[in-house]
Structure 1
Amino acid sequence: MDSWLNAYLKTLTADGTSEIIESKKAVRLTNYPGFTFSVRSLGIGKSYVLQKNAESNYAVIITQSVSDPQNVGYLKDVDQILSILEILK
């Protein structure tokens, strides 16, 4: 998945309309291995690329682009949703 993600990140920034503002780093989200990175385009989005396990041929990309300037708690809601994520394949 690492080499696929490197190629994907190149395509995101190839036309100059997007910028990687947080480099990819390894992460585990609800016990699933993967990577996270952040991109600035029309807004700022934090993305997770996850697999069920290292042997899986499938991956899921989840992009979090929630803004909460008045601190209403939207990011807490996003964290709660991500905490129950289940990857089936």
Structure 2
Amino acid sequence: MSINSESLLKLSLGMIVKNERENLPRCLSSVQPYVDEIVIVDTGSQNGTPELALEYGAKVFYFEWCDNLALTAFNLTLAFNKNHVKAQNKIDKINPNLKG
């Protein structure tokens, strides 16, 4: 039985961000080799965060922060269109030794 790339599970990275332009490069660079898609929900950045995320190939959605993390996270989840999701904090970084 052969395995083709379409039968493999896809992994999406989802992040809720606001004014994280300084943190995104380290974070997104570390995770890019492992995910099929990056989805960013921006909650009102004013420092170019969404534009930088687009440079990394992310899908960017805008959502006004409402002091309800559960609602914001739900909105983020709705934006995904792959099978599996990795939600990540802005300071998280993937260990490069993880890849086999």
Bigger fraction of residues in strand = 1
The structure with the largest helix share of the pair is 2
Do both share a fold (TM > 0.5)?
no
TM-score range, shorter chain: 0.3 to 0.5
Higher RCO by CA contacts (8 Å cutoff, separation 6 or greater): 2
- Normalised by the size of structure 1, how large is the TM-score? 0.32
